[in-house]
Amino acid sequence: MKKFLIFISIAVIALSCEKDLTDLNVDKKRPAEVPAPTLFANAQKNLADVITSSNVNLNIFRLISQYWTQTTYTDESRYDLSTRNIPNAFWNGLYRDVLRDLQEAKTVLNAQTGSTLDTAQRTNQLAMVEIMEVYSWSVLVNTFGNVPYTEALDAETVQPKYDSARAIYNDLLIRLDTAVGSLNPDEGSFGSSDLIYGGDINQWIKFGNSLRLRLGMMLADVDANAAREVVEDAAKNVLESNEDNAQFRYLESPPNTNPVWVDLVQSGRKDFVAANTIVNQMNQLNDPRRPFYFTLSNTQDYKGGTYGSSNNYATYSKPSTTITQPDFPGTLMDYSEVEFLLAEAAERGFAVEGSAESHYNRAVTASIENWGGTEAEAQAYLAQPQVAYTSATGDWRQKIGTQKWLALYNQGVQAWTEWRRLDYPKLNVPNGMEYSDIPLRFNYPVNEQNLNKTNYEQASSAMGGDLTSTRLFWDLD
């Protein structure tokens, strides 16, 4: 009996050791299978991080848009994209960290056919993934132009061909229309794994249509009929207030804090001050958003550093404590932008409800209130002749373009896109440079030039050269 018990004990110990060794061979931080809700949430965070970041190794759009300028190191303010290989980081951030996760989420969802997951819920989830994909692809196209699309994200295709930016846009609009049309508010979704709208399908319908509105207006100068068709249909159900804003809500504690807090506060770096380009404009207009955008300078006023030159950190206004809070949200799209788009649509003669002036006024008001200002401040601001739609300087492009640029502060990616499309405001030129030196697109990553050379060369040639001065198809002279 004693021998039998000893044998059992040895067997148990052996099995235990085998189990322990098996566990040691499993990397729990790299799961073999990840559920779709987790992939979707991770893609949302990665997208928000890429769009929101102020790290000069990844996102320099606040600098290009001349909201901020630099103190000691001025390379990025002077449009040096290559030293830090910024295009490669931005490219990888979207392809690898966002689109790849979204693609895998779709693969997992499609594999669940016949499972316990409700078909209607899965339809909503797939549509939400599709909308996030379209958003991400549009950022890539608006940044680089022609990019790998139909052959991208395939591990078997290591040298994917590039698709034309216009062809990608056409396909994105079809995909987006289908996705929005398949959303059903009466059915489930990702629930709490949706870190933007908490699974609210009505909000996703508004967001999807607002994205359609944005992409449709991008075509307005090159294909007015196509733009009109998309815009007039999308405008029927878009973001209607600041409560509808598409925002990623960061947390107060790491690791899920706002990247701006990480870059400026946690790191203790003093690399940026307000740019004179925006501060001078806001001072001239007595803009009520100044205390939400910037701190006071050492002379207790709002003062911007010279754009593109070295600036003493202690002398000038800095990014405000509002945007450097760890839980300040990252914005993918807001109500103010939608109203500016509708104002432009009205000016172009598209059949949207309301006048250009009424949409312009709502856009400006929405921006001021969203930042913490009051309706009274917004009305006083709009009453100024330099701001009022009927008397502000210039044509509708200048009026809308200037106020939209002011409203898109802290949304550098979209601000740079709208500046290229509307050509306003007129930015400052760094000392020793020309206006034409301001980038109209990013160069392709060095990795693409070296590892996908044939397709890279074909794409570059089709666009007119891999230059920062090359205009994208929607950016006319």
Residues 283, 144: Cα–Cα separation, whole Å:
34
Residues 406, 179: Cα–Cα separation, whole Å:
32
Candidate from 14-28, 163-177, 219-233, 402-416 with smallest mean pLDDT: 14-28
Cβ count near 397 (within 10 Å): 14
Residues 231, 234: Cα–Cα separation, whole Å:
5
Contact 100, 108 (CB under 8 A): no
Percent of the chain with pLDDT over 70: 92
Residue in the block written with tokens 């449009």: 79
Cβ count near 364 (within 10 Å): 26
Residues 89, 102: Cα–Cα separation, whole Å:
19
pLDDT value at 19 more than 60: no
What is the reported pLDDT for 20? 52
What is the reported pLDDT for 2? 45
Residue in the block written with tokens 């002398």: 315
- 319 by Cβ neighbours in 10 Å (0-12 / 13-18 / 19+) ranks as buried
What is the reported pLDDT for 13? 45
For 446, the token pair is 């060095």
pLDDT value at 238 more than 60: yes
Q: Which residues pair with 379 in a beta bridge?
A: none
Residue in the block written with tokens 């598409």: 246
Split at pLDDT 50, 70, 90, the class of 1 is very low
The pLDDT tens digits for 149-194 are 999 999 899 999 999 999 999 999 999 999 999 999 999 999 999 9
What is the reported pLDDT for 29? 57
Closest C-alpha to 46, from 319, 253, 416, 332: 332
Split at pLDDT 50, 70, 90, the class of 28 is low
Phi, psi of 52 (to 5 degrees): -90, -30
**More confident: 2 or 269:** 269
Q: What is the mean pLDDT of residues 393-420?
A: 98
Provide the whole-model pTM.
0.93
What is the reported pLDDT for 270? 96
Split at pLDDT 50, 70, 90, the class of 31 is low
With a CB cutoff of 8 Å and minimum separation 6, the contacts of 411 are: 51, 331, 334
Q: What's the chain look like in SS3?
A: CHHHHHHHHHHHHHHHHHHHHHHHCCCCCCCCCCCHHHHHHHHHHHHHHHHHCCCCCCCCHHHHCCCEEECCCCCHHHCCCCCCCHHHHHHHHHHHHHHHHHHHHHHHHHCCCCCCCCHHHHHHHHHHHHHHHHHHHHHHHHHHCCEECCCCCCCCCCCCCEECHHHHHHHHHHHHHHHHHHCCCCCCCCHHHCCCCCCCHHHHHHHHHHHHHHHHHHCCCCCHHHHHHHHHHHCCCCCCCHHHCEEECCCCCCCCCCHHHHHHHHCCCCCEEEEHHHHHHHHHCCCCCHHHHECCCCCCCCCCECCCCCCCCCCCCCECCCCCCCCCCEEEECHHHHHHHHHHHHHCCCCCCCCHHHHHHHHHHHHHHHHCCCHHHHHHHHHCCCCCCCCCCCCHHHHHHHHHHHHCCCCHHHHHHHHHHHCCCCCCCCCCCCHHHCCCCCCCCHHHHHHCHHHHHHHHHHHCCCCCCCCCCCCCC
pLDDT value at 16 more than 70: no
Residues 189, 128: Cα–Cα separation, whole Å:
8
Residues 21, 12: Cα–Cα separation, whole Å:
14
Percent of the chain with pLDDT over 90: 91
Domain 36-63+78-249+443-463 matching CATH 1.25.40.390: the answer reads yes
**Domain ranges in the chain?**
36-63+78-249+443-463
Q: What is the mean pLDDT of residues 383-402?
A: 98
- Sign, CA dihedral 182-185-188-190, equals positive
Phi, psi of 249 (to 5 degrees): -95, 105
Give the mean pLDDT of the chain: 94
Q: What is the mean pLDDT of residues 428-445?
A: 98
Contact 211, 176 (CB under 8 A): yes
Residues 240, 210: Cα–Cα separation, whole Å:
10
What is the reported pLDDT for 423? 97
Identify residue 217 by its one-letter amino acid code: M
Q: HSE on the CB side for 154, CA within 13 Å?
A: 11
For 159, the token pair is 């040298």
pLDDT value at 355 more than 50: yes
Closest C-alpha to 215, from 199, 238, 181: 238
Q: Which residues pair with 331 in a beta bridge?
A: 247
The pLDDT tens digits for 72-119 are 999 999 999 999 999 999 999 999 999 999 999 999 999 987 655 689
pLDDT value at 335 more than 90: yes
